Amino acid sequence: MTDTATSPVKNSKIVLAQPSSDQCVQSLFTYHNDHAIGHKPPLGIMILATYLRANGFSDVQCLDAQLEELSPQQTVDRLVAMKPDIVGFTAWTDFWHPAWETMRLLRKRLPHCAIILGGPHCGVYPEESLTYSEADFLVVGDGEDVMLSLVSDLVYGRPIAEQPGLWRKEKGSVIAPVDPLAMIDDITKVPPPDRNLLPYQRYSSVLSPADYETTMITSRGCPYKCVFCKMDVQKVYARTAAQVVDEFEQIANLGITDVQVYDDTFTWGIARAMDICQGIIDRGIKINWAIRDRANRVTPELYRLLKQAGCNRVHFGVETGSPRILEKSGKFLTMEQVETGIAIAKETGMTVMAYFMFGFLDETVADARMTIDFAKKLDPDYPVFVILIPYPGTEIYTQGLERGVIPHDFWREFTKNPVPDYRIPHLVEEHMDREMLVQMRNLGTRQLYFQPRRIVRELRSFTSLSELRRKTKLGLMLAAEVYRPRSKPLPAPQTLH
């Protein structure tokens, strides 16, 4: 902590940073290389910065090292120039090494600066993340109230108060909180992020015809426990419909025309979702937006209203075309519900994006081929095939360890000793090894994307030269990946009995 710790709030500079993506985990996603898919604004640090500002801390800034394409060293150079008293980092598993390296270098340059760490990775390995990094504090869960209390104590030189989810170093020891998880008591008191904290005109998506777009979160939590997802809160708490409509209006007033709503599922509350749509319509807000939804929550009435309010794209997590694997996935969906939901969305005029995975426990080549066949049957506008990564904190990682499919807790080891460009050593490879998983992903992509009918349809959909350039770049990258020669031939199709 700096010598200015007891100075007034207005003289204490706080910087919240999204760490670099340089030398991050090599996760086998098709779209891992380059930045053809665009950048998304880091809502986590923006929401925290806005909350601190709203509660009296006037000098709070944000730095997005991923948008700026900075290395950890360059990130530190930028931070040192900003002369902060307190720096907060958010850490995802994929970006743990660059976050760790940035903290290590920052400690050398600014030895008295207080470093606070948060983010999903920290929630899985809080003790290791704090012990083996240069962070002074670590927050697990919702950061708003914990950060407000912690920053206040740091600024005024007070003893650090015990807070839910707050880990800290004290005299060389790591002190764990009594309550392991921070949860904000009332999400409606959190103001929407101030998008002027970062250059909002530079955030874009390959799927959007606009030159720039933004993202939004209207609720937190999820009542389900999909085996591939880490979710600390198995319930949903949401902002009011009026607050959401207000934020849409603020976004539109900035000149932003495209929004992606990043709620796990936008339609948890059907009445609330319809109130949001009606509010947008009543106020005459002209904006295009996209949501994530579950196929079993789709109704014609709701989707007609969504479309009328400007929602034009929906993302569905289908995951698999095998009924057996779907039942084990934790999705609590049936194949029939998926077909019905996507059919309604398409009939309403929505652009449909559907996600599929290969690499579940007990999944065979026959199951994987069923997934490709099911994707063809559904015929989404944008199918996405990926290899399931058993991330820490997920049920599939825990089960894999218990069953010996994953031989040891490699993510814990990586947390203690992060290395650049880490290549994930173990996937779920019971019946398909890594090479076969890659081949199934590529096969699905080839069969659904690189067909003359789809290519012509995509060419006809372009509305601007910038969209044409972005999608052409991504298409060429995709083709280079999925048509790359592989050492192992695909096995012949099998018939399931």
Residue 174: strand pairing partners = 169
Question: Closest by alpha carbon to 306, among 353, 247, 369, 261?
Answer: 261
Per-residue model confidence as pLDDT tens digits over 310-358 = 999 999 999 999 999 999 999 999 999 999 999 999 999 999 999 999 9
Quick count: other Cβ atoms within 10 Å of Cβ 289? 24
Residue 466 tokens read as 């910038």
Q: Does 42 share its domain with 149?
A: yes
Residue 372 tokens read as 């490709």
Residue 237 tokens read as 């708490």
Are 310 and 285 contacting, i.e. CB atoms less than 8 angstroms apart? Answer: yes
Are 117 and 130 contacting, i.e. CB atoms less than 8 angstroms apart? Answer: yes
Is residue 3 assigned to a domain? no
Is residue 287 assigned to a domain? yes
Residue 351: strand pairing partners = 313
Query: What is the domain-level CATH number for residue 453?
Result: 3.20.20.70
Q: Residue 237 sits in which domain range?
A: 204-389+427-482
Residues 6+ apart with CB under 8 A from 134: 103, 104, 106, 107, 115
Are 62 and 49 contacting, i.e. CB atoms less than 8 angstroms apart? Answer: yes
Are 93 and 47 contacting, i.e. CB atoms less than 8 angstroms apart? Answer: no
Residue finishing a domain among 126, 154, 175: 175
Per-residue model confidence as pLDDT tens digits over 244-262 = 999 999 999 999 999 999 9
> What Å distances lie between residue 425 and 237, 407, 430, CA to CA?
36, 10, 14
Q: Does 120 share its domain with 241?
A: no
> What Å distances lie between residue 491 and 43, 210, 335, 366, CA to CA?
44, 42, 25, 10
The predicted model scores a pTM of 0.90
Q: Does 246 share its domain with 320?
A: yes
Question: Which portions of the chain are predicted below pLDDT 50?
Answer: 1-10, 30-35, 494-497
Q: Does 155 share its domain with 223?
A: no
How many domains in the chain? 2
Are 260 and 215 contacting, i.e. CB atoms less than 8 angstroms apart? Answer: yes
Measured distance CA(288)–CA(233) in Å, rounded: 29
> What Å distances lie between residue 31 and 124, 134, 206, 320, 433, CA to CA?
26, 31, 11, 20, 21
pLDDT of residue 36: 53
Is residue 396 assigned to a domain? no
pLDDT of residue 496: 37
Measured distance CA(253)–CA(277) in Å, rounded: 18
Query: What is the domain-level CATH number for residue 126?
Result: 3.40.50.280
Residue finishing a domain among 160, 175, 190: 175
> What Å distances lie between residue 334 and 39, 127, 327, 456, CA to CA?
33, 39, 8, 32
Is residue 413 assigned to a domain? no
Residue 207 tokens read as 């799927």
Q: Does 43 share its domain with 132?
A: yes
Measured distance CA(303)–CA(115) in Å, rounded: 45
Q: Does 153 share its domain with 265?
A: no
Is residue 382 assigned to a domain? yes
